[in-house]
């Protein structure tokens, strides 16, 4: 995409959400010369990294009248990637050895990630753009602009007009519940991981955890500390799977998918095994959900595919004044937010241009056809997996910003290999010190850290 010939223009932009995506989007928009208002329903920045011991009244989060809790963080959560590859490119996520309250581990707790985002917001004076305890309840196009209706905690509503809106509200608050034949008659307890906080309620129980990646692997092992038995149902496993995963727990088994749930409390797996369970925990992911957004029917969500989006960011007929930052699921989330937001900011200013609406739709159609030919279900449209760096580098080239560093990409690749092969120990035992050293040398070369790399490499755990 060639630079635009038009003079650079400043837009008045609404950003929805002050989590990691919203914060870096606000920064990039302001750097590009735009005026920005960030709407955040919580009292602080941090988004999904804000831990709350409170869970929703409906443990499956299906009741539309429930009081919604936006946090999905559980008490024992630690990152599943090394900290150095998680941070924004010009603000490394390095240990703070000078502060005893901070977590200096390479795979730190959720509290450390929140503290990092608070540091980021302070460093770049981002909170001055944020309206806290203000929820966006409606966004709609009006005469070439966007009307945003917001509501404060005091129930005061306000309508405002913006030139553009960037949606950064995350996608970890609307749980996806797997269908299990017979579940309506099954008498046990059911909960989605969105409402999981601590293992105590499962003491001495027989528990089935559905899902065996990231949160599923973590939560099953957390519950196994207090439960009688934990049985993991994994869609990725072969039909006959019935194994004990490696590790110190003798009360943990991995099965194939669930076949049926029965009125007598039994759960039948597709491997033929039958257990009588007390509880089911769904670690089955989330749905994309934008209840505030009215595009006059142009946009829709079909089997968890947000349609239609050019490169997961711009809806062609509404671009560039409506955009989404943070939709794809990938390892380097914060860097994705940063690169996508640089693109959005540059396009809004007129420094770079998008293809025509027809060309963008043609690209989307080709992408959908490719996924279909590969047998990839619609629900995986926004899961980029191994092509995540290729995707981010394409956007980086579009807006003339640096490509993803080699070490960052490799830390993710090797980190996930360890997660799969050693789920019990991968956070505390690793084999990529070469990449870690490369990362800190890179930070030093770019003058992003004030200490010699050895300060971090010799002190970190």
- pLDDT tens for each residue of 383-420: 998 899 999 999 999 999 999 999 999 999 999 899 88
Q: In the Cβ-directed half-sphere of 9, how many Cα atoms lie within 13 Å?
A: 14
* List of residues 6+ apart from 156 with CB closer than 8 A: none
Residue with tokens 């089935």: 208
Question: How many angstroms separate the Cα of 145 from the Cα of each of 35, 37, 367?
Answer: 15, 15, 29
H/E segment holding residue 112: helix 110-123
Q: Are strands 300-302 and 305-307 parallel, antiparallel or unpaired?
A: antiparallel
Specify the pLDDT at position 460. Answer: 58
Residues in the chain predicted with pLDDT less than 50, given as ranges, are 5
Structure-token pair, residue 374:
């590969």
To the nearest 5 percent, what fractions of the chain are helix, strand and coil? 30, 20, 50
Say what the pLDDT of residue 7 is. Answer: 55
- The residue length of the chain stands at 461
Q: State both tokens at 17.
A: 């959400």
Which tokens in the block code for residue 353?
Answer: 């241009």
Angle, CA of 261, 262 and 266, to the nearest 5°: 80
- Phi and psi at residue 102, to the nearest 5°: -95, 155
Token pair, residue 441, equals 């040398």
CA atoms of 234 and 247, how far apart (whole Å): 18
pLDDT confidence of residue 171: 82
pLDDT at residue 4, rounded to an integer: 53
Gap between the Cα atoms of 441 and 450, Å rounded? 12
In the DSSP assignment, the letter for residue 354 is P
Partners of 158 in the β-ladder:
150
Which pTM does this prediction carry?
0.94
Question: Using CA atoms, how far apart are residues 15 and 322, in angstroms rounded to an integer?
Answer: 10
Task: Based on DSSP, count helices (H) and strands (E) in the chain, helices before strands.
Answer: 10, 19
pLDDT at 65: 87
């Amino acid at each position: 995409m060639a630079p635009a010939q038009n003079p650079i223009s400043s837009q008045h932009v609404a950003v929805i959400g002050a989590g990691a995506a919203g914060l870096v989007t606000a920064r990039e928009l302001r750097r590009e010369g735009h005026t920005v208002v960030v709407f955040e329903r919580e009292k602080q920045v941090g988004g999904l990294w804000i831990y709350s011991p409170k869970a929703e009244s409906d443990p499956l989060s299906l009741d539309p009248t429930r009081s919604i809790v936006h946090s999905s963080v559980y008490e024992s959560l630690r990152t599943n990637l090394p900290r150095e590859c998680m941070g924004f490119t010009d603000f490394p996520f390095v240990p703070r050895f000078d502060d005893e309250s901070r977590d200096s581990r390479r795979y730190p707790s959720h509290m450390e990630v929140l503290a990092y985002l608070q540091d980021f917001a302070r460093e770049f004076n981002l909170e001055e753009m944020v309206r806290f305890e203000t929820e966006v309840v409606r966004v709609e196009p009006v005469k070439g602009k966007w009307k945003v209706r917001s509501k404060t905690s005091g129930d005061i509503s306000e309508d405002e007009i913006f030139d553009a809106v960037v949606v950064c509200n995350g996608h970890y608050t609307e749980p996806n519940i797997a269908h299990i034949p017979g579940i309506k008659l099954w008498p046990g307890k059911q909960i989605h991981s969105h409402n999981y906080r601590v293992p105590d309620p499962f003491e001495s129980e027989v528990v089935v955890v559905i899902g065996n990646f990231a949160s599923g692997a973590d939560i099953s092992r957390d519950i196994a500390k207090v439960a009688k038995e934990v049985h993991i149902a994994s869609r990725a496993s072969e039909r006959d799977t019935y194994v004990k995963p490696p590790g110190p727990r003798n009360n943990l088994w991995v099965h194939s998918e669930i076949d049926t749930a029965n009125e007598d409390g039994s759960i039948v797996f597709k491997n033929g095994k039958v257990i009588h369970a007390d509880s089911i925990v769904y670690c089955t992911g989330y749905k994309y959900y934008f209840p505030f957004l009215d595009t006059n029917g142009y946009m829709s969500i079909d089997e968890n595919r947000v349609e239609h989006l050019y490169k997961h960011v711009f809806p062609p007929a509404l671009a560039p004044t409506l955009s989404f930052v943070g939709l794809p699921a990938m390892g380097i989330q914060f860097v994705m937010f940063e690169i996508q937001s640089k693109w959005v900011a540059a396009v809004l200013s007129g420094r770079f241009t998008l293809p025509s609406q027809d060309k963008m739709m043609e690209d989307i159609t080709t992408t959908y056809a490719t996924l279909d030919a590969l047998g990839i279900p619609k629900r995986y449209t926004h899961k980029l997996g191994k092509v995540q760096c290729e995707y981010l580098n394409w956007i980086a080239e579009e807006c003339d910003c640096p490509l993803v560093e080699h070490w960052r990409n490799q830390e993710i690749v090797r980190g996930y290999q360890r997660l799969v092969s050693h789920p019990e120990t991968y956070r505390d035992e690793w084999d990529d010190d070469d990449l870690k050293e490369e990362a800190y040398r890179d930070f030093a070369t770019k003058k992003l850290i004030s200490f010699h790399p050895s300060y971090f490499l010799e002190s970190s755990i």
